[in-house]
């Protein structure tokens, strides 16, 4: 049987015989190896004198006669911190031809260093998708990098904006009557020149990242490019992504996806029999199957496609990629009589799935949807510490496509639980400023997931406790108890006996204490006057912090933190500070709620003010004085 790569090469040979001669004519904005003297001598970029490097030109040209794409890229390194731009990745193909050179002025003479074979790599990203990775030689402040790659086909994306300025970016895709493609535009920089087959941007500023955004690359101005159909009458016809129905059909028929769910042989019959014997309800069987499949170790590779043509390989070897594990779970649930289907999606690092167009290449991950009666579960069995009612943060990225046997539907991939923490400090204050007592904290849902991962990342409990002490001023831990580490559906609980020193400021007869002792917001993360991109917390948050402080003999409260309740419009967030004193014991309660994960740009001003107030409230002092 011919491989898919071989089939495509046969097609390319066929199309070359019938395509017309190219008539497109346009002046190329650059030629490889021919660099202007002014660019070689450039020391700063006039439009952004702070830039450490600048893309002088990014030029791509698709030659429809030869079905070949040429990509040329020229970068000027202006400062030492810009040297990292000598290592970069661009779209490519399995048979991409690459060349490059670095141009420097040394002792008044131009010195050219050629890109060597061992410094260029072709990486397979996914099925039929490749990247070219290069590490340019002799890169330093003042260098000009010249790069060229050519290959058959179209690039998977074209970027008009980078994290450094781009002086000129131009993409030309000659019309081709046998090829249909789709380009999905994203970003905030307008295209300066646009026609049916040519797009140009000029003097694009560097992308400036902002705090709490989804993957920054989602906001760069770019085209995601995808072949939707190839049709050479009488020779070749293939639909890729003309409609979502066509995408689903492709997935169902693919031997690295849907065909494995229709296999007549099943490798897990013994386990299915054991689950049926142990659990009598669909809910119990779902939970047991989920926990059993989680015993397959995830190799940290995110994929839409299985790693081997047979799911049984991953099952028997107990290791696999994300598609292996979650398609195995789908298969097990079906064998247990549970309605289960794969859900395909784009992870946060891979970009947002387009709302108004179709894309197969944007899909890079699969989870599972299971339905029992009126209840629907979204499942991902890749994470050891993940309970059944949650998904990893990497997949929380809008929506997913449910691939059913005879149809498809959409499902929202939004978390139903929060990142929730609760802590109580029950301390006794000494006259010398030392505080001693009990510190307890509980982690729920996503906070529990993060904390379990954090705890297990240490080699021992002692190592974990030492890291806490080193991260917290004046903290000494005398005793420690951990509860529910492996009971994933229960909150993770920690209990400490602690001594806190150097947390109290003494002046004359007064003691000044910050009542929020841990996990304090010391500055507003939102400093910009204008927000260009949405604020994305990923998960809604809920934090409760309580300080109960027994005062030393002979002292009384002079000033409490002021009580306050501050809310965002439409109850999108709130903070509460409550302080009371009773019989020599001060209690300060602080509660913070961020009730939705994403705030749009028009909500930014209110959010910025809210966090200003948050920082201010948490910095208010408890003041006590000697009687």
pLDDT in tens, 205-226: 999 988 999 888 888 999 999 8
- In degrees and rounded to multiples of 5, residue 232 shows phi and psi of -110, 105
Predicted pLDDT of residue 21 = 41
| Range scoring the smallest mean pLDDT among 200-209, 223-232, 300-309 | 223-232
SS3 label, residue 99: strand
Minimum mean pLDDT range among 32-36, 173-177, 513-517: 173-177
Residues whose CB is less than 8 angstroms from the CB of residue 156 and which lie 6 or more positions away in sequence, other chains included: 91, 129, 224, 225, 226, 361
User: Does the pLDDT value for residue 296 go beyond 90?
Assistant: yes
> Does 338 score more than 60 pLDDT?
yes
Distance CA 246, CA 557 (A): 71
Residue 26 is predicted with a pLDDT of 57
Rounded CA separation 358/62 (Å): 22
Tell me the two tokens of residue 399.
């929506």
- 513 closest CA partner among 472, 554, 559, 476: 559
CA angle 314, 315, 318 (to 5 degrees): 75
Q: How far is CA 86 from CA 36, 42, 500, in A?
A: 19, 17, 48
Judged against a pLDDT cut of 60, whether residue 4 lies above it is answered with: no
N-to-C CA span, the chain: 92
- Segment 523-540 shows an average pLDDT of 93
pLDDT of residue 570: 95
CA–CA gap between residue 235 and residue 394 (Å, rounded): 42
**pLDDT tens by residue, 573-611:** 999 999 999 999 999 999 999 999 999 999 999 999 999
Mean pLDDT of 156-179: 94
Which residue, 348, 346, 330, is CA-closest to 338? 330
Contact between residue 562 and residue 577 where contact means Cβ atoms under 8 Å apart:
yes
Structural domains of the chain sorted by starting position, each given as residue range(s) with its CATH number in brackets = 4-232 (2.60.40.3140), 244-413 (3.10.620.30), 419-626 (2.60.120.1130)
Q: Tally helices (H) and strands (E) across the chain.
A: 10, 36
CB 428 within 8 A of CB 436: yes
Instruction: Report, as an integer, the average pLDDT of 261-271.
Output: 78
The answer to whether the CB of 11 falls within 8 A of the CB of 230 is: yes
pLDDT of residue 231: 81
pLDDT reported for residue 22: 44
Instruction: Please check the confidence at residue 287 and state whether its pLDDT lies above 80.
Output: yes
Burial class (CB in 10 A: 0-12, 13-18, 19+), 195: exposed
Measure the CA–CA gap between 257 and 366, rounded to whole angstroms. 10
pLDDT of residue 263: 65
Q: What is the largest CA-CA distance in the chain?
A: 99
Q: What is the pLDDT of residue 34?
A: 94
- Convert the pLDDT of each residue in 81-115 to its tens digit: 999 999 999 999 999 999 999 999 999 899 999 99
Q: What is the pLDDT of residues 602-625, one digit of tens each?
A: 999 999 999 999 999 999 999 999
**Lowest-pLDDT choice from 107-111, 357-361, 453-457, 465-469:** 357-361
- 2, pLDDT greater than 50: no
Q: Which among 242, 227, 226 is positioned nearest to 179, based on CA atoms?
A: 227
How many residues are recorded in the chain? 627
Q: In this predicted structure, what is the pLDDT of residue 355?
A: 80
Span 115-167, pLDDT tens digits: 999 999 999 888 888 999 999 999 999 999 999 999 999 999 999 999 999 99
Q: Of the spans 38-47, 237-246, 259-268, which averages the highest pLDDT?
A: 38-47
State the DSSP H helix or E strand holding residue 112, giving kind and residue range, or none if neither: strand 109-114
Beta-bridge mates of residue 483? 493
> How far is the C-alpha of 609 from the C-alpha of 627, rounded, in Å?
39
Mean pLDDT, residues 464-490: 96
Answer whether residue 14 shows pLDDT above 60: no
pLDDT at residue 259 tops 90: no
As a whole number of angstroms, the distance between CA 57 and CA 185 comes to 20
pLDDT of res. 455 = 97
d(CA 178, CA 171): 20
Q: Which residues face 553 on adjacent strands?
A: none
pLDDT score at 265: 65
Q: Which residues are within 8 A (CB) of 548 and not within 5 positions of it... i.e. 6 or more apart? A: 424, 425, 426, 427, 585, 586, 587
């Amino acid at each position: 049987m011919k491989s898919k790569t071989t089939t495509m090469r046969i097609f390319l040979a066929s199309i070359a015989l019938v395509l017309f001669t190219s008539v497109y004519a346009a002046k190329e904005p650059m030629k490889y190896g021919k660099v202007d003297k002014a660019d070689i001598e450039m020391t700063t970029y006039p439009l952004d004198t702070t830039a450490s490097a600048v893309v002088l030109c990014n030029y791509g040209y698709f030659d429809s006669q030869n079905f070949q794409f040429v990509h040329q890229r020229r970068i000027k390194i202006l400062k030492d911190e810009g040297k990292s731009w000598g290592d970069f990745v661009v779209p490519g193909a399995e048979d991409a031809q690459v060349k490059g050179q670095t141009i420097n002025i040394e002792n008044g003479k131009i010195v050219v260093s050629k890109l060597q074979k061992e410094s260029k790599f072709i990486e397979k990203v996914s099925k039929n998708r490749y990247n070219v990775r290069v590490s340019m030689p002799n890169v330093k402040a003042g260098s000009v990098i010249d790069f060229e790659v050519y290959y058959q086909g179209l690039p998977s994306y074209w970027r008009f904006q980078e994290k450094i300025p781009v002086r000129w970016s131009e993409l030309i895709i000659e019309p081709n009557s046998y090829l249909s493609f789709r380009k999905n535009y994203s970003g905030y920089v307008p295209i300066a020149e646009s026609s049916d087959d040519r797009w140009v941007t000029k003097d694009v500023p560097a992308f400036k990242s902002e705090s709490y955004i989804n993957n920054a690359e989602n906001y760069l101005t770019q085209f995601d490019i995808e072949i939707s159909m190839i049709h050479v009458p009488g020779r070749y016809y293939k639909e890729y992504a003309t409609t979502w129905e066509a995408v689903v059909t492709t997935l169902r028929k693919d031997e690295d996806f849907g065909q494995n769910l229709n296999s007549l042989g099943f490798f897990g019959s013994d386990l299915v029999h054991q689950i049926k014997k142990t659990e009598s309800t669909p809910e119990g069987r779902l939970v047991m199957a989920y926990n059993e499949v989680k015993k397959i170790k995830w190799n940290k590779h995110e994929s839409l496609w299985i790693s081997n043509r047979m799911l049984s390989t991953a099952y028997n070897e107990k290791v696999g990629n994300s598609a292996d594990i979650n398609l195995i779970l789908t298969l097990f649930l079906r064998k247990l009589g549970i309605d289960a289907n794969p859900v395909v999606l784009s992870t946060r690092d891979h970009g947002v799935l387009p709302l108004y167009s179709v894309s197969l290449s944007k899909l890079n991950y699969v989870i599972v949807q299971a339905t029992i009666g009126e209840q629907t579960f979204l499942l991902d069995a890749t994470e050891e510490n993940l309970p059944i009612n949650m998904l990893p943060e990497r997949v929380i990225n809008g929506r997913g496509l449910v691939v059913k046997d005879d149809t498809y539907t959409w499902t929202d991939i939004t978390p139903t639980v929060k990142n929730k923490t609760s802590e109580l400090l029950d301390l006794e204050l000494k006259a010398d400023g030392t505080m001693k007592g009990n510190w307890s904290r509980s982690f729920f849902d996503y906070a529990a997931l993060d904390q379990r991962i954090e705890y297990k990342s240490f080699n021992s409990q002692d190592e974990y406790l030492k890291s806490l002490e080193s991260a917290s001023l004046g903290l000494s831990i005398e005793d420690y108890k951990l509860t529910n580490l492996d009971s994933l559906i229960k909150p993770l609980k920690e209990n400490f006996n602690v001594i806190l020193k150097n947390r109290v400021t003494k002046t004359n007869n007064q003691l000044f204490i910050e009542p929020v002792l841990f996990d304090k917001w010391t500055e507003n993360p939102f400093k910009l006057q204008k927000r260009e991109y949405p604020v994305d917390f990923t998960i809604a948050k809920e934090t409760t912090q309580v300080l109960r402080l027994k005062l030393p003999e002979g002292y009384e409260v002079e000033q409490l933190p002021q009580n306050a309740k501050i809310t965002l419009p439409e109850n999108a967030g709130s903070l509460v500070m409550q302080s009371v004193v009773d019989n020599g014991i001060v209690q300060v309660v602080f509660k913070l709620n961020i009730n939705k994960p994403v705030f749009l740009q028009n909500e930014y001003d209110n959010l910025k003010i809210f966090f200003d107030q948050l920082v201010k409230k948490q910095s208010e002092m408890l003041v006590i004085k000697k009687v």
